[in-house]
Chain A
């Protein structure tokens, strides 16, 4: 395949950026999107140019590092991560626009790499449970109903990639935050911090400068792990419940 790429190039956080056009040839339909970019970068290095910086790690759809907006869609046209997107989703001769996640809470570090440490700080605010120290507890000491275990697992699937923020017209992190809160709040292990978790994590989310939710639903459409939009509703319910219960 022969493709025309238009890629966002930006030297550093303070430099202005722009879309730069590149031609790549000899792309196999079985390559992943990142392998296609590797091909481009090899050529750039041979030509003595600066390669395109982009985030990636596991390349198997589980770490959440890869993060590209492809033709206006976070993670591109398929419902998967950028690393698991294959070039067969495109046609020979296509022009493909590649841009970084856009949100003021995710500033561009370089080219297509953005700083997502705001997510870490949201997790730090309450995305944990208190555990007793000592030897591992007996596995059946705390029974968990099947439905709750399923709900927890559904939310635990979130890999923290930030596609939800990138897709949201308000740069809102509600889907990510709701996945992290719901994951722990439905489990008995998460019980002791149930109220403070939701209050603190929502407060941390606001403090990072993410936007609010207008229930547009773009986040859930973009999410490679299928975290559903009603997760936000559940988080709102938890927040209102906690507000009634906790004295400030």
Chain B
């Protein structure tokens, strides 16, 4: 019988919850870092350079960054694989639908799978755009401020980013509260607090991330 972490539905959901929370933690820091763009090119680019020197002299140049990247890659892969496997199982467990349809569950709950796929595609595009600069036409290495402005000066750059951030907000709204239940941290008494925290985190992250393209669009950052 399957009593292991990866073999059990409860265990696999635990993997999703832990990797989801790791990514969530990263996103909070990432969003706060992005806000430095409001202090101008020198400060933002300086911050980006500092990230590469983080941990020196104990760590070599860029090592801290690479550690974070490896952890995030592992998290996103584990999260995506368990989401895929659990979803496949869920769909197989309920093959025939009811003839009489009725509305079910909240929007955030119903969009976890599609929202997750949107986030997965966004992560790939985002890396090609601002990390490897492959799809960013006017990009220059080492000048992240100018590259961000370049991205958000294109309509498709804004559209992709805004869609993904709305999807992120919904994903976290259901995801954060869900993760608490999966990890056994929820209770009747704590439910209100957890739901409020989930909504708060979703709102703060979405607004924080979206403020950057909005600032470029309105000319506050240029």
What residues of chain A have their CB less than 8 Å away from a CB belonging to chain B?
6, 8, 19, 69, 71-73, 97, 99, 102-105, 125, 168-172, 199-200, 202-207, 209-218, 228, 230, 232-241, 243, 246, 248
**A215 partner residues in chain B, CB cutoff 8 A:** 109, 174, 177-178, 181-182
9 residue pairs of the A-B complex, CB under 8 angstroms, read A6-B99, A72-B98, A104-B92, A105-B93, A169-B94, A171-B94, A200-B1, A206-B2, A237-B184
Chain B residue nearest to A228 (CB atoms) is B188
Q: Contacts A233-B187, A236-B182 given: A218-B93 contact, CB under 8 Å?
A: no
- Given contacts A104-B93, A203-B3, 5 further A-B pairs with CB under 8 A are A72-B101, A169-B105, A216-B105, A236-B181, A241-B184
B104 adjacent to A216 (CB under 8 Å): yes
A230 adjacent to B188 (CB under 8 Å): yes
The smallest beta-carbon distance between B103 and chain A, in angstroms, is: 9
B94 adjacent to A102 (CB under 8 Å): yes
A168 adjacent to B94 (CB under 8 Å): yes
Instruction: A171 to B9: give the CA distance in the assembly, Å.
Output: 13
**B191 partner residues in chain A, CB cutoff 8 A:** 230
The smallest beta-carbon distance between B198 and chain A, in angstroms, is: 11
The smallest beta-carbon distance between A15 and chain B, in angstroms, is: 14
A172 adjacent to B181 (CB under 8 Å): no
A234 adjacent to B184 (CB under 8 Å): yes
Chain B residue nearest to A204 (CB atoms) is B1
Partner of B105, one of A202, A217, A233, A239: A217
Partner of B94, one of A104, A234, A238: A104
Q: Mark B1-33, 1 if CB is under 8 A from A, else 0.
A: 111110111111110000000000000000000
B184 adjacent to A172 (CB under 8 Å): no
Which 10 residue pairs spanning A and B have beta carbons closest together?
A237-B184, A211-B93, A171-B93, A170-B90, A171-B94, A211-B90, A203-B1, A97-B100, A72-B100, A212-B9
What residues of chain B have their CB less than 8 Å away from a CB belonging to chain A?
1-5, 7-14, 86, 89-102, 104-105, 109, 112, 174, 177-178, 180-188, 191
Q: Contacts A200-B1, A204-B1 given: A214-B98 contact, CB under 8 Å?
A: no
The smallest beta-carbon distance between A248 and chain B, in angstroms, is: 6
Instruction: A71 to B10: give the CA distance in the assembly, Å.
Output: 31
B102 adjacent to A209 (CB under 8 Å): no
A172 adjacent to B2 (CB under 8 Å): no
**A202 partner residues in chain B, CB cutoff 8 A:** 3, 8-10
Chain A residue nearest to B94 (CB atoms) is A171
**A19 partner residues in chain B, CB cutoff 8 A:** 99
**B86 partner residues in chain A, CB cutoff 8 A:** 212
B100 adjacent to A170 (CB under 8 Å): no
Instruction: A104 to B99: give the CA distance in the assembly, Å.
Output: 16
A211 adjacent to B98 (CB under 8 Å): no
Instruction: A237 to B3: give the CA distance in the assembly, Å.
Output: 15
**B183 partner residues in chain A, CB cutoff 8 A:** 236-237, 240
Instruction: A104 to B97: give the CA distance in the assembly, Å.
Output: 11
Chain A residue nearest to B174 (CB atoms) is A215
**A103 partner residues in chain B, CB cutoff 8 A:** 93-94
Instruction: A79 to B93: give the CA distance in the assembly, Å.
Output: 25
A199 adjacent to B3 (CB under 8 Å): yes
Instruction: A171 to B1: give the CA distance in the assembly, Å.
Output: 20
Chain A residue nearest to B187 (CB atoms) is A230
Partner of B8, one of A169, A206, A210, A230: A206
B102 adjacent to A73 (CB under 8 Å): yes
